[in-house]
Structure 1
Amino acid sequence: MRLLVKWREDEERVDWLLESLPADMPAGERARVQALLVGTVRHLGRIDGHLDALMTRPPRPTVWAGLAVAGFELLEGGADEGLKARVCHHLVEQVKRLATAKEAGFANAVVRKLAAALAADVEPAADAPMADWARWGSHPDWLVQRWKMKFNQDAAVAFLRWNQSAAPVLVRWRGEAAAKAELPEWLTPIEGAPDFFSAEPGHWPELAAWIERGEMQVQDAATRHAVDLLQVQPGETVLDLCAAPGGKSLAIADRLGGSGQVVAMDLPGRRMPRLQRNLEAAPSGVKATVVAGNVMQGAARVLTAKNLPTTYAAVLLDVPCSNTGVMRHRVDVKWRLQPDSFRRHAIQQLDMLLAAAERVAPGGRLVYSTCSVDPEENEQVVAAFVRRSHGAFKLEESVMSLPWETGHDGAGAFRLRRV
């Protein structure tokens, strides 16, 4: 409840809030807090819609948060009458503790009506108006209308359903090929994505042990497209711009065949320590260098100060974007986006791509990647860049991953060659 209030009142990101949990919190309790917070934010549009209809005026933020979390627990529990009674009782006790007894009585009356409203709420028909799907699927109406226009109604509905499903832990196998054949059945291979697996819940201790030994990395299968298109060659020195938190940087290091170097650059900040930790797992013989710098300003100076090259045969630019391809993981993205977000992102992305091009050696490869499914941030940015390069770069190959088709996160990746 406290985290949900901070998310709404202070506009803090869900992943940052979860990172703020006490380090000594028991693993089971931490997992439940994460499940409740993520689940509530994922379904908040639907829950809030019913709450607004049941209350004449909004309660204090703490009481609202309790009602919202209880709403998710009711959705999660389905038709279990016993669970409904337990959720109502627990909500009353928590509101008494965090607010007042009078507000607890109010919450008790509202949550019982909320339980009935949620139980009667059924999925719209496939051809129902998109506004109905947006309400039921807890997405802003303008966003699902946009997807209907960009794709079609069936795709928009499939995408919305995808975003509302719980995201499993996906991992990339880094260990020996022979050992991969002995992996347990609760690791399901991702179709079309060699070395990537979906892990069933309840096996984090085993996964953590593999990660600690350097045999696995938590990573979505969509990230492979950018690394594949980069065509890393053993012994190369590769520049990864906007590298944090480092999943793609480590994948590049794994492709270097035991020799070469990864130079991972990103802005200084809270994600840099994680980038450093991820690259500590780079294979023996591969040098991994973390650089705090800005691709848009002074990158060459920073690289020179570190005795590093200023141009590279292979450069990866994974730009900040709308994150529409990863909404199943980043559940608060849909509530942060605004209709003009895509235009603003595209302007910044083109500027970053033009700056990254200066780091590409003659004949070198530049891969532009996003975790967006929207053309404004993918094909249109790349087309604008090619025009602005006046023949200096050509588009060689591209991949678009659409979650409702691939079964994993969405992404765009484009390989450009300096002529």
Structure 2
Amino acid sequence: MRDVKQGLNPAPEVSKPQPSGWVAAAGLVERWLARSERVDTLLEGLAAGLSPQERARAQQLFYGVVRWASRLEAALAGLMAHQPRTKVKAVLMIAGFELLEGGPDLTAKVIHHAVERAKSVTSPKEARLVNAVARKMADRLTVSPADLATEFAHPEWLVNRWTRQFGLETTRKLLEWNQQPAPVYARWRSDAPVPAFLAPTQWAGFYEVKAGHWDEIRKLATEGALYLQDPSTRLCIGLLAPVAGESILDACAAPGGKSLFIADTMKTGKVVALDEPAAPGKPDPRLQRLKENLSRAPHGVNVAMVEADLAKVNTVFYRNLSLPESYDAVLLDAPCSNTGVMRHRIDVKWRLQDGDFARHAQQQLSLLHAAARLVRPGGRLVYSTCSVDADENDGVIKAFLASRVGSRAKLVRSVQAYPWTDGHDGAGAFLFEMVS
């Protein structure tokens, strides 16, 4: 008997809907609200199936919610009798950011889009709630808040601290800066011509990466032709002034961008990159990136990666590893509050506490003492932070110079970069000569 199936036309393939960046962002916001996970950790788990455009959209929406979280929370306050599911709140927070971003002219479109998305990620009843609440939220977001902390979505204590330190007008400039998406910059490392799609900047060797060329950028980064890096990093390297043939210690090296910058400047010599070891059983992505970056150093530079706590090891430790016990120059790019890089580290302001500044300053001074002991007589020591706070910069330097170890040091030069005047991340850098 003839198989009747042979006469049937094959069923048409049903195309699967493409993953949505908006839906992916809702998942990221949901996890951030529920678990307070770090933004960079959450982004590492962003769905691999997203197209580059949808992935960028997911990151843009997620970053927008985190940047404006307290203002969005304020607009939502009191609009619902009961706390919704975290997923529903995530949808409302994204809608709120899009309302802020788009302005009154796009209100209807934003709300309609949020409700349609809510239908796919929540229940029909919850989608109706999104519709009602988003409309009221839109009215609240069009009213300018009376205080800077609410207007620019920063903790009130931090705004007050900056106002005391910088004054009201300058604090507003810093807050405005922090709330803008950060440009991406690349430091060109190759002798080959710079591609036309990299836009020159006012900072020699640094180029702005424009949208639309990420495949080429990834390829160039993998090949080592460029390194994605903010121009503020040039300040501490400029003060350190690495010279060919020197031995240099990068004392808090991970993820290794500055170690690589030092090696590129020297061309020949030795770079020892030191940072704290990973916790037992927990691989540290920063140390892995340090290892990868050191592998791209010029062939004439001998590199060594060391996992140790700078403040807890002595010269015997280095001797046992056949490493120098003193160095021509030491860079200490110290752990800090990150107040100069909040454009990039957008969740820092929500994790930072007022008492952290004193704690950081104490640790920084301890590390500075340890670093100074590793500089040969006549050698150079550079202390740097990505902070704009005086306690972590001038305050640490004054305490160091007044100490027994610091009495051997002569402050030669310093530079403090502020985003609102320099146009890039904030940073402090201080050059010492160890005189005896």
TM-score by length of 2: 0.87
**How far apart, in 1, do the equivalents of 2:171 and 2:201 lie?**
23
Query: Once the two structures are superposed, what CA deviation does each residue of 1:284-340 show, in whole Å capped at 9, x if it has no partner?
Result: 211222111110112545433321112111101111110000001111011111111
Secondary structure at 2:227's aligned position in 1?
strand
Conservation of the 8 A alpha-carbon contact between 2:95 and 2:111: no
> Which residue in 2 is equivalent to 1:384?
399
> Which residue in 1 is equivalent to 2:200?
189
Conservation of the 8 A alpha-carbon contact between 2:249 and 2:331: yes
Listed as ranges, the gaps of 5+ residues in structure 2 are 1-25, 279-283
> Which residue in 1 is equivalent to 2:143?
121
1:60 to 85, 88, 91: 85
Change (3 A) 1:88 1:12: closer
2:260 to 250, 273, 280: 250
2:39 to 10, 14, 18: 14
Structure whose CA Rg is larger: 2
Which residue identity does 1:328 align to in structure 2?
R
Aligned residue runs from structure 1 range 332-347, under 5 A: 332-347=347-362
2:308 to 270, 284, 293: 293
**How far apart, in 1, do the equivalents of 2:260 and 2:120 lie?**
44
State percent identity of aligned pairs: 47
Aligned residue runs from structure 1 range 225-240, under 5 A: 225-240=235-250
Which residue identity does 2:409 align to in structure 1?
F
Conservation of the 8 A alpha-carbon contact between 2:419 and 2:425: yes
Aligned residue runs from structure 1 range 294-309, under 5 A: 294-298=309-313, 300-309=315-324
**How far apart, in 2, do the equivalents of 1:65 and 1:40 lie?**
9
2:193 to 169, 175, 179: 179
> Which residue in 2 is equivalent to 1:109?
132
TM-score by length of 1: 0.91
Query: Once the two structures are superposed, what CA deviation does each residue of 1:115-161 show, in whole Å capped at 9, x if it has no partner?
Result: 3332x234x6xxxxxx6121111111121121111112111111110
> Which residue in 1 is equivalent to 2:22?
none
**How far apart, in 1, do the equivalents of 2:77 and 2:430 lie?**
45
Conservation of the 8 A alpha-carbon contact between 1:91 and 1:107: no
Query: Once the two structures are superposed, what CA deviation does each residue of 1:239-262 show, in whole Å capped at 9, x if it has no partner?
Result: 1011011111110000112x1121
* 2:427 counterpart of 1:418: no
> Which residue in 1 is equivalent to 2:325?
310
**How far apart, in 2, do the equivalents of 1:94 and 1:322 lie?**
40
Aligned residue runs from structure 1 range 10-409, under 5 A: 10-23=35-48, 25-78=50-103, 79-81=105-107, 83-96=109-122, 100-118=123-141, 120-122=142-144, 132-176=147-191, 179-180=193-194, 183-184=195-196, 186-191=197-202, 193-257=203-267, 259-269=268-278, 270=284, 271-298=286-313, 300-388=315-403, 389=405, 391-409=407-425
Conservation of the 8 A alpha-carbon contact between 2:242 and 2:266: yes
Secondary structure at 1:391's aligned position in 2?
helix
Change (3 A) 1:305 1:8: farther
Deviation at 1:107, TM superposition (A): 2.3
Listed as ranges, the gaps of 5+ residues in structure 1 are 125-130
Deviates most, 103-112 or 312-321: 103-112
Query: Once the two structures are superposed, what CA deviation does each residue of 1:143-180 show, in whole Å capped at 9, x if it has no partner?
Result: 1121111112111111110001111111111122x724
**How far apart, in 2, do the equivalents of 1:300 and 1:23 lie?**
46
Change (3 A) 1:134 1:322: same
Change (3 A) 1:280 1:24: farther
**How far apart, in 1, do the equivalents of 2:84 and 2:317 lie?**
52
Deviates most, 306-315 or 27-36: 27-36
Deviation at 1:23, TM superposition (A): 4.8
Deviation at 1:225, TM superposition (A): 0.6
**How far apart, in 1, do the equivalents of 2:137 and 2:148 lie?**
20
> Which residue in 1 is equivalent to 2:3?
none
> Which residue in 1 is equivalent to 2:10?
none
Count of aligned positions: 402
**How far apart, in 2, do the equivalents of 1:81 and 1:11 lie?**
29
